[in-house]
Amino acid sequence: MPKYLNRIEEAEERSRELEARIADPETAKQPREYQKVARSLGALRPLLESGERYRVVLRELDASRSMLDDSDAELVEMARAETAELEEKLAELEAELAVLLTPRDPNDDKNVIFEIRAGAGGDEAALFAADLFRMYSRFAELAGWRVEPLSSSQTPGGGFKEVIALLSGEGAWSRLKFERGVHRVQRVPSTEAQGRIHTSTVTVAVMPEAEEVDIEISAGDLRIDVMRASGPGGQSVNTTDSAVRITHLPTGVVVQCQDEKSQHKNKAKAMTVLRSRLLEFEKQKAADERASDRRSQVGTGERSEKIRTYNFPQSRVTDHRAGVTLHKLGAIMEGDLGELLDSVKAQVAAQQEASQGDS
């Protein structure tokens, strides 16, 4: 039996069960349960659609192969060409199914907290941090998502020492969860008189937005300090105690927000970031308790990983995990990230499938 047929049949059976539940009047009386079932059903549709195309190609391939033994030489030649074409289609569909059958991350539908920080390279690293923030913002806009800056620390030259933002939209975490790590840039800084290429780094942290139900925070575990905002800004900077710093005492996690003029708004944004950091803290603690080989898989997102290099002189972007190099840096910096993200996701799916096969 073809390798994915059993799992497609399991998905079809699961779909029938969900359709029966959603048609049940009792489910309709529970809006939260109804939404949960509807989301699960919606998540299965891409797999079911690919599964149907897979079946069609398998049938056509069987028919084409059966003609290879025909006595008519012309017919055999046509069948040989058709078989080769169908085998190529089948390989593409199997790669697609490998991604769709990867165990679903429960956070896939969540929004994303993005934290971008300048690393090695001084002012040039800060400028590239600003470029990356713009790149991800453009990608989000093209996807129809909303970008909400939560906190930032700018440099006089227009770069960012740090910028934190919330990206809200369907499938945000699913698309961006493997972007965490070290991003390296190679280019000639605008301040370089000799035209020498400099190498700088920027770190990107990506976390699913945590809701209050995801993680419980006791008020007694928090120390909240208010102060005057500092750095470049508008009228309220340095004149009102609007900046908020929240310290989670049990873990030592500290979050500070000062972008809003209102202390109340800064506190709300700081709590949003804090919840997500604490959820990530708990996930990392659990990961550290598992076997080290699980953490060595591609896409684990260790911040020490150099995941990608942006080479401006050669207009080249290389993703070191997927082994993919694209010569369209300009388009990528304008938010055209789809091909890179798909390559990494396919690589992770392939590694997970290989891991399951070995176990």
List where CATH 3.30.160.20 sits in the chain. 219-289
Residue 164's pLDDT is 92
pLDDT at 304: 47
Beta strands in the chain, from DSSP E residues, in sequence order: 112-118, 146-154, 160-168, 181-187, 198-208, 222-227, 243-248, 253-257, 306-311, 316-319, 324-326
* Coil vs helix vs strand at 324: strand
* Distance in Å from the first CA to the final CA of the chain: 21
Please say whether the structural domain 219-289 has been given the CATH code 3.30.160.20: yes
The two three-digit tokens of residue 224, written as one number: 């909240």
pTM value surpassing 0.95: no
Kindly report, as residue ranges, where domains of CATH 3.30.70.1660 are found in the chain: 112-213+295-358
The predicted structure's pLDDT at residue 90: 94
Topology adopted by domain 112-213+295-358: Alpha-Beta Plaits (3.30.70)
Question: What tokens does 222 get?
Answer: 């928090």
* CATH code reported for the domain at 5-100: 1.20.58
Lookup result for tokens 């600003």? 130
Tens digits of per-residue pLDDT, 150-202? 888 899 888 999 999 999 998 899 899 999 999 999 999 877 767 789 999 99
pLDDT in the model for residue 10? 92
Low-confidence ranges of the chain (pLDDT < 50): 233-238, 290-304
pLDDT of res. 301? 32
The pLDDT value recorded for residue 34 is 87
| Burial grade of 82 (CB within 10 A; 0-12, 13-18, 19 or more) | middle
The neighbour count for residue 5, using CB atoms within 10 Å, is: 13
Outline which parts of the chain fall under CATH 1.20.58: 5-100
Residue entry with tokens 């003609």: 67
